[in-house]
Amino acid sequence: MKWSLILELSKALMLARFKQTAVAATGVMFSITMFVTLLGFMNGLNSMLDGLVLNRTPHIRFYNEIKPNPNQPVDITDEFQNTWNIIRSIKPSTSRLAIYNSEQIIQNLENDQRVLGVSPKVSAQVFFNVGTIDLTGIVSGIDVQKEAQLFAFTDYITAGNYEELNQTNTIILGKGLADRMLTGIGDVIQITTAQGNKMQVRVVGYYQSGLGDYDNSNSFASIGTVQKMLGEPPSYVTDIQVKLHNLDLAPSMARELEKIYNIDADDIQTVNAQFETGTNIRTLISYAVGITLLVVSGFGIYNILNMMIYEKLDTIAILKAIGFNGSDVNRIFITIALSIGVIGGGIGLVFGYFACLGIDQIPFETEALPTIKTFPVDYNPKYYFIGASFSLITTYLAGFFPARKASGVDPVDIIRGK
Amino acid sequence: MKNHHPTALQAEGVDKFFFNPTKTQVLKKVSFEVKQGEFVSVVGKSGCGKSTLLYILSTMDTDYQGKLHMDGELITGKPRNYLAHLRNEKIGFVFQFHYLLNEFSVLENIMIPGLKLGKYSREELEYRAMEKLRIFEMEEHALKKANQLSGGQKQRVAIARALINDPLLIMGDEPTGNLDKKNSDIVFNKFKELAQEFKQTMLVVTHDQEFAEGTDRIIEMEDGRVIRQ
Ligand SMILES: Nc1ncnc2c1ncn2[C@@H]1O[C@H](COP(=O)(O)OP(=O)(O)O)[C@@H](O)[C@H]1O
Ligand SMILES: [Mg+2]
């Protein structure tokens, strides 16, 4: 059976009932528009919220945790081997915060195929001296270039010039911290380390992550500046931050390397499990809403096709009388349903894209998110592809039963009934 | 006189029952044959089973007992799709109520069975359809929609459509039954013309005595039986 004839007949039937067909296609269009817009917007928000934390969180972080020694002397002594030992008021041992042999570890990690980049860090607890008051805070000594490259550091610098951080004795303050200290860019402030070393540093910029608590206590300087502040040698590193090519490998790699280097390792999944959950639920909701809309429009198509078949019983009977068989008639009505899906879905995808562009223009400025100026939208082609598939599947299903009914029409019944 | 002609259609002891509301036998051992080139009419009182017989002969109704041969081939018990193809290729049907597709033009209505058969290209079919329209003096209406025609005109188009695939047999169920005298005469004359000029085999149900007398042979039915042929 030639498809051109099937298409011609379907087209004629649709044009004969142009209004209903247009209404059905509009239904599909509307739901696909909503579907694409919703997913684009939801996922834009998702990746923004994820980015808030995940972008600047290392996939694996190596550090030395301050904790009691798991091998207490009493357990090692032969005398108490077969007894139940209870030690009260256990204290952590004076273990070093610095990572032993850090240079070698960094080099090994950089040679690892799975690793995208490695960035060392020195964290120091400090007091910021403001007049007679001391504010507690943290100075992170970072490798500016690597931090920018791997953790989008520069995105969060809202004022000043981050390049100046490469000079010694310069600092970038968290916005909240700077506000509390009433300092401006170019001012010199005094820092006292927990060990009592004092140091004068010049403020070269503000940092604003969007997480208020974080910005109230954190500041950044170059690794060298912090090492100098602490009076430690250039090999002194407290954290090694690793970014991987594939984030999913993080937990297994963390466990593996933890053993090899004999240090503590945190992976991003374990640390940020709750983010994943939130993301999944938001995605689930958008799919549920989108599919509900499609199902509703599917029922619309079902109704309209049923009505069309009822009105066109004569036509179906003639077609059968002049030699069209059941499957030809079936194909005609499936073609009608799918055409409604293709046209409605196609226009819906275009409108959805425009709606996304529109949302993308709406200003959305908040203190907490310095890098965001308008609502975030995700234009991933995946959503358009899913939308297109869904519109075809629902319209096909909506057409399936009416088409089957049409193909089963007995022409004798119709012709005799006249 | 026509015995040397091959048989176009043969019915052999056809029985037909309806079960709704009660079991009634509408056709009783109906047997007859139509030779190629014959113009046969079927007459009988209303309700004697003429339409029922015609639906069976046209292969649209397959729920009957007995045997049916078309063009020397047994068609009883053949699958539905095969019968649909057979109908498309070998049978032209003209109904009492002019069943045209209102969504299409007159020309397209005539072409559709030909497009379905796929034996000729679209251009050839268009040419052939125009030729058929010319036989019925309807060529100037070719591009009108079917529902812009009068009853008599529609019926002429319906006959033209029945002819498009050069069918073995044309069947008509009271094709003039719904027309006034004038139009009915025009259609009747066209049937006669087809019989005489084109030697078209035709089987036409009618209750118009005049019409019946103009045909080669009359099959008379009464109460589900053929009483004279
Ligand atoms: N679908 C049906 N169910 C039951 N009886 C029917 C049905 N169709 C027709 N009949 C009966 O069969 C008989 C023959 O009908 P029909 O073939 O239409 O007669 P005709 O065309 O000769 O006037 C009538 O008595 C009619 O009532
Ligand atoms: Mg009848």
pLDDT score, position B69 = 94
* Ligand 1 nearest-atom number relative to CA B54: 17
A252: which residues sit within 8 A by CB, 6+ positions away? none
Q: Which pLDDT value is given to residue B183?
A: 85
CA of A412, nearest ligand number: 1
Q: Does A17 touch chain B (CB under 8 A)?
A: no
Instruction: Evaluate: CB of B206 within 6 angstroms of ligand 1.
Output: no
pLDDT of A418 strictly over 80: no
| Least confident range of A14-18, A44-48, A275-279 | A275-279
Query: Mean pLDDT: which of A62-66, A131-135, A280-284, B64-68 is highest?
Result: B64-68
Which of A119-123, A258-262, A345-349 is the most confident on average?
Answer: A345-349
Q: Indicate if the pLDDT at residue A268 is higher than 80.
A: yes
- The domain that holds B168 is classified in CATH as 3.40.50.300
Instruction: Please check whether residue B161 lies inside any domain of the structure.
Output: yes
**Averaged pLDDT of chain A:** 86
Over residues A362-398, the pLDDT tens digits come to 888 776 666 678 888 889 899 899 889 988 998 899 8
Tell me whether the omega of the peptide bond preceding residue B113 falls within 30 degrees of 0, making it cis. no
Q: Cβ–Cβ of B80/A326 closer than 8 Å?
A: yes
Which residues, 6+ apart, have CB-to-CB distance to A414 below 8 Å?
A: A313, A314, A316, A317
> Rounded to the nearest whole angstrom, what is the distance from the C-alpha of residue A308 to the centroid of ligand 1?
28
For residues B219 and A19, give the distance between their C-alpha atoms in angstroms, rounded to a whole number: 50
| Count of domains for chain B | 1
The predicted structure's pLDDT at residue B164: 93
The answer to whether A327 faces chain B, any CB pair under 8 Å, is yes
Structure confidence at residue A320 (pLDDT): 92
DSSP state of A63: E
Q: CA-to-CA distance for A199 and A228, rounded, in angstroms?
A: 9
Q: Which of A14-18, A148-152, A365-369, B199-203 has the lowest mean pLDDT?
A: A365-369
Size of interface A-B (CB pairs under 8 A): 73
Domain region containing B34: 7-228
pLDDT of residue A1: 56
Q: Which residue of B has its CA nearest to A314?
A: B99
**Six token digits for residue A185:** 């860019």
Domain membership of residue B219 (yes or no) is: yes
- For the cut 50, the answer to whether the pLDDT of residue B1 exceeds it is no
Q: Which atom of ligand 1 is nearest to the CA of B221?
A: 22
Q: Given this model, what pLDDT does residue B200 score?
A: 92
Predicted local distance difference test score (pLDDT) of residue B124: 94
Interface test with A, best of B55, B59, B98 (most A CBs within 10 A): B55
Q: Given A320, A326, A418, which is nearest B97 (Cβ)?
A: A418
Distance (Å) of CA A99 to CA A133, A145, A262, A390: 33, 21, 10, 53
pLDDT band at B203 (very low <50, low <70, confident <90, very high): very high
Residue B177's pLDDT band (boundaries 50, 70, 90)?
confident
Of B81, B113, B118, the CB nearest to A322: B113
In what side-by-side order are the strands of the sheet with B91-94? B91-94, B169-173, B202-205, B39-44, B217-222, B225-228
Does B128 score more than 50 pLDDT? yes
How far away is chain B from the Cα of A318, in angstroms, using its nearest Cα?
A: 7
The complex scores an ipTM of 0.92
Whether residue B157 is predicted with pLDDT greater than 60 in this model: the reply is yes
Q: Provide the greatest CA pair distance for chain B.
A: 52
- For ligand 1, atom 18, which residue shows the shortest CA distance? B51
Residue type, A66: I
For residue B75, name the pLDDT band (cuts at 50, 70, 90). Answer: very high
pTM of the model: 0.76
B2 occurs within a structural domain? no
- CB-hemisphere CA count at 13 Å for A304? 28
Indicate whether B1 belongs to any domain. no
Residue in chain A closest to B80 (alpha carbons) equals: A325
Q: Is the CB of B201 under 6 A from ligand 1?
A: no
Decide whether any atom of ligand 1 lies within 6 Å of the B52 Cβ. yes
The residues pairing with A371 across neighbouring beta strands, listed in sequence order, are none
* Closest listed residue to residue A136, CA positions, set A125, A122, A151, A147: A125
pLDDT at residue B2 above 60? Answer: no
Q: What phi and psi values does residue A220 have, to the nearest 5 degrees?
A: -130, 140
> Cβ contacts (< 8 Å) between B103 and chain A: which residues?
12-13, 15-16, 315
Q: Rounded to an integer, what is the distance from CA A53 to the centroid of its chain?
A: 10
Are the beta carbons of A325 and B97 separated by less than 8 Å?
Answer: no
Taking a contact as any Cβ pair under 8 Å apart, which residues of chain A between 395 and 414 contact chain B?
411-412
The Cα B213–Cα B229 span in angstroms is 13
CA B209 – CA A43 distance, rounded (Å): 80
Do residues B202 and B169 make contact, with C-beta atoms less than 8 angstroms apart?
yes
| 3-state secondary structure (DSSP) of residue A65 | coil
Q: What is the pLDDT of residue A269?
A: 79
Dihedral sign for Cα atoms in the order A390, A391, A392, A394: positive
Is the model's pLDDT at B156 over the cut of 80?
Answer: yes
Q: pLDDT value at position A367?
A: 65
* Contact status, residue A322 vs residue B91, Cβ threshold 8 Å: no
pLDDT digits (tens, 9 = 90+) for A74-114: 877 888 888 888 888 887 776 677 888 888 888 888 888 88
Higher pLDDT, A342 or A1: A342
C-alpha count within 13 angstroms, C-beta hemisphere, residue A216: 4
CA B224 to ligand 1: nearest atom = 14
In which band, very low, low, confident or very high, does the pLDDT at A417 lie, cut at 50, 70 and 90?
Answer: confident
Q: Is the CB of B106 under 6 A from ligand 1?
A: no
The share of chain A scoring above pLDDT 90, in percent, equals 20
Residue B122 predicted with pLDDT over 50: yes
Q: Residue B82: closest CA among chain A residues belongs to which residue?
A: A325
